[in-house]
């Protein structure tokens, strides 16, 4: 939990806090990226759309301004580490 505490102390002007944590733009809570609930994706348009997430704290729905491929790469990398 020390990493999350450190992340919360950083400036809250960015959604991606570090390679492991993301901040909700509404409640400003910092969580492990894997705790955010990804919304469904239509495979046909996967390369043309951005992932949409739901905050585990306040349930706000948002889409980070990263490209879809950047966000997917980050999530895939973190998921692989968890296995």
> If you average pLDDT over residues 40-51, what whole number do you get?
82
User: At 21, phi and psi to the nearest 5?
Assistant: -125, 145
**Which bin fits 28, alpha (ψ -120 to 50), beta or left (φ > 0)?**
left
In a domain, 70, yes or no: yes
Beta strands 61-62 and 30-32 are unpaired
In a domain, 82, yes or no: no
> If you average pLDDT over residues 23-34, what whole number do you get?
93
Please give the pLDDT value at position 11.
55
In a domain, 47, yes or no: yes
Residue 1 has pLDDT above 90, yes or no: no
Q: With 0-12 CB in 10 A as exposed, 13-18 as middle and 19+ as buried, what is 36? A: buried
Identify any residues that bridge with 21 across adjacent strands, giving them in sequence order: 32
In a domain, 83, yes or no: no
Domains identified in the chain, total number: 1
Give the helix/strand (H/E) hosting 81.
helix 68-82
Residue 65 has pLDDT above 80, yes or no: no
In a domain, 38, yes or no: yes
């Amino acid at each position: 939990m020390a990493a999350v505490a450190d992340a919360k102390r950083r400036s809250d002007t960015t959604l991606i806090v570090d390679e492991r944590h993301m901040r909700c733009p509404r409640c400003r809570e910092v969580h492990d990226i894997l705790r955010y609930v990804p919304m469904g994706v239509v495979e046909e348009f996967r390369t043309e759309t951005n992932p949409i997430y739901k905050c585990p704290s306040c349930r706000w729905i948002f889409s980070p301004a990263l490209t879809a491929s950047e966000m997917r790469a980050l999530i895939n990398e973190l998921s692989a580490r968890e296995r």
